Amino acid sequence: MCGLNGIYNIRKLNNASDLISKMNLASQHRGPDYSGVYSDEQIVLGHNRLSIIDLQPSSHQPFVSNDGNLVLVFNGEIYNYLEIKKILKDYDFKTNSDTEVIIAAYQKWGKACVNHFNGMFAFAIWDKAKQNLFIARDRLGIKPLYYYDNFEQFAFSSEMRSLLTLPFIEKKINEDALVDYLSYATVHAPRTIVNGIQMLMPGHYLELNEDGIKTTQYWNINIHYNSASINQSYDEVKTKTKELLMKSVERRLVADVSFGVFLSGGIDSSALVACMSKVTEKPIKTFSITFDESEFSEAKYAQMIADKYQTEHTEIRLKPEDFLKDLPEAIKSMDHPSMDGPNSYIVSKATKNAGVTMALSGLGGDEIFGGYDIFKRSMKLLDKKWVMSFPVMFRKAFGSVLKITKPGIASDKIYKTLTSKYLELPYYYPINREIMDEKTLHKTLTFHDYPENSVHEILQNGIGVGALGAKVPFLSRVSFAEINTYMQNVLLRDTDQMSMAHALEVRVPFLDHELVEYIYGVNDDYKYPSTPKKLLVESLGDLLPDEIVNRPKMGFTLPWEVWMKNELKSYCKEGLDFLKNTKSFEERAIDDIWLKFLSGSSKVTWSRVWHLVVLGHWLKENNIEA
């Protein structure tokens, strides 16, 4: 895992080498093992290396092809690089790295090389002869790629903070992105919170030369999903699911450094340990974050799996106070503001301190196998479309009564759902994920020209009526919603930025694209989670104990509300006060939200304040004008 940086069209820049060095320095935490720079008359490329595969200096980057024409900077891992290497017999390999395989693959297949890669990646290749820059990002958006284009210079990086070191980028908030952030506690790609900085979308590549920029989508789950299961029995589907998961885990065990697996004792992490036990003879190292407080601790479930598979198990015991102590540093380490980031920061820090450089994570299991309540709720709503046959005035009346008799966030969301245009996923799902509604937005912001709801837009374009995904199984459409909103724009971004803050690589076997493509095509009857993640659990059979399958879902539940009213009160006030002094926020509205939270209002929970606190501190830390 690494960090890449670059600036194209540097002819008008007198200090391009100094600029790329500053970018490298800003992202050095991503790759502390080596920093390198390449420059010519047109481009400068920078790279920070975290050595995972082939630790030799010959694999340092920027990496130059044998003929000296291609220059590569790369972040991520290509898990099938040894398979590809066998095909590329004409290339004279000098290293044992996946980095050189990318160069060789591009030399043979050009931009089509991305179709051959199984992995997580963001990379840039400069072709000196053609004066062409090629940038690509993996199918599911596991690795980030940010870029900025002012029609003179084009700059790109693994982190937004590296781009913010450049003098030609104005540090100003993107108002459309601000609306998105307040609504969902994140900004959905391609936007970012900073004006002018964008993300290359997952499954896309970009080409840049003197003719301009062209962006192409090379992978779309609604086109590339595997329909083989249509003619398969349930037993055949289970067998294939197990085979693909085993293969995914095996691929992700290739490393030349110490590694382990995050083990919470839940279904997903336990499934990974079970699969590892079948595909490797090496001792399995498992790491669990545990708490002294029994209500937070999952230690007994993790220990159960550790005992079953005789892993080298390490409990990293934390107290809630440990989170409090590291919280300010966690927010300073955020590359992009996020409500959930601090949790990932603390866990990554503790794991790295335990001597691990690479870890497997169960991220993606819920989205692929229907682990969230939204999957069941959405199926139930399919049977209630008759409600929409009632005139809207009756639906409004019922919703209003509910809001009066049971005031709170849940009733407000039911009211919005009942009065929406259609009882379809692109309409009710955005309400389900919403943190701040439009009425509160109008009170909170000084401007009122808002973009289309980003979540609705993603879903309408992807799985709405007439879209390619409209005909896939219904539960796969719910997976599409989860993957393309919360997973990509919160979970994956947080995992990357917070693990790389400690130079820890995290691999996610459930997001192997071959596994995702297959499960996406499985019908609802086989996939419906009548029991927790039915298809996953039944595919693995007795590899998972009943106590793990039927245990309560816990996660990292921490007493945020209590902290924010006590130990974190002054910290919260500081973040909110910063927002009050910007031109984008209404001072009285921020005060009103804070006072309602302190008074225990059912409509202002801790999460509806915390994302504002984080934003205030992040904007202040990064000197962003709002």
As given in the structure block, the two tokens for residue 110 are: 């050009």
Instruction: State pLDDT tens for residues 26-39.
Output: 998 887 777 889 99
Residue numbers annotated as active site? 2
As given in the structure block, the two tokens for residue 512 are: 């192997």
Question: Please, what is the end-to-end C-alpha distance for the chain in angstroms?
Answer: 33
The answer to whether the beta carbons of residues 197 and 160 sit under 8 Å apart is: yes
Average pLDDT, stretch 577-597? Answer: 97
Task: Please report the beta strands in 31-100, taking only residues with DSSP state E, as ranges in sequence order.
Answer: 34-39, 43-49, 63-64, 70-78
Give pLDDT, residue 602. Answer: 87
Average pLDDT, stretch 167-185? Answer: 97
Mark out the alpha helices in 252-298 (DSSP H runs).
267-279
Instruction: State pLDDT tens for residues 199-246.
Output: 999 999 999 999 999 999 999 999 999 999 999 999 999 999 999 999
Give pLDDT, residue 74. Answer: 94
**Any idea what DSSP says for residue 261?**
E
Instruction: State pLDDT tens for residues 314-351.
Output: 888 777 777 788 888 898 899 999 988 877 888 788 88
Neighbour order of strands in the sheet with 259-262? 312-318, 285-291, 259-262, 358-360, 505-507
Residue among 258, 289, 261 nearest 275 (CA): 261
Give pLDDT, residue 417. Answer: 72
Give pLDDT, residue 142. Answer: 97
The answer to whether the beta carbons of residues 72 and 125 sit under 8 Å apart is: yes
Class of 225-370+486-549 per CATH? alpha beta
3 vs 558: which has the higher pLDDT: 3
What whole-number distance in Å separates Cα of residue 161 and Cα of residue 192? 12
| Least reliable range by pLDDT among 1-5, 343-347, 404-408, 478-482 | 404-408
Does a cis peptide bond (omega within 30 degrees of 0) precede residue 426?
Answer: no
Instruction: State pLDDT tens for residues 286-313.
Output: 988 776 655 556 788 899 999 999 999 9
Instruction: State pLDDT tens for residues 105-159.
Output: 999 999 999 999 999 999 999 999 999 999 999 999 999 999 999 999 999 999 9
In percent, how much of the chain has pLDDT > 90? 67
Residues in the chain: 626
Give pLDDT, residue 323. Answer: 77
Residue among 619, 625, 327 nearest 498 (CA): 327
Give pLDDT, residue 389. Answer: 65
CATH 3.60.20.10 domain span(s) along the chain? 2-219
As given in the structure block, the two tokens for residue 549 are: 């399958």
Range among 8-12, 559-563, 587-591 with highest mean pLDDT value: 587-591
Q: What DSSP assignment string belongs to 334-388?
A: -SS--SSHHHHHHHHHHHHHTT-SEEE--TTHHHHHT-SHHHHHHHHHHTTGGGG
What whole-number distance in Å separates Cα of residue 273 and Cα of residue 419? 46
CATH 3.40.50.620 domain span(s) along the chain? 225-370+486-549
Query: Which residues, in sequence order, are CB contacts of 354 under 8 Å at separation 6+?
Result: 287, 314, 316
pLDDT higher than 70, residue 48: yes
Please tell me the CATH superfamily of domain 2-219, with its number. Answer: Aminohydrolase, N-terminal nucleophile (Ntn) domain (3.60.20.10)
As given in the structure block, the two tokens for residue 269 are: 């992490």
Average pLDDT, stretch 449-458? Answer: 96
Query: Which residues, in sequence order, are CB contacts of 505 under 8 Å at separation 6+?
Result: 1, 50, 52, 77, 357, 358, 359, 499
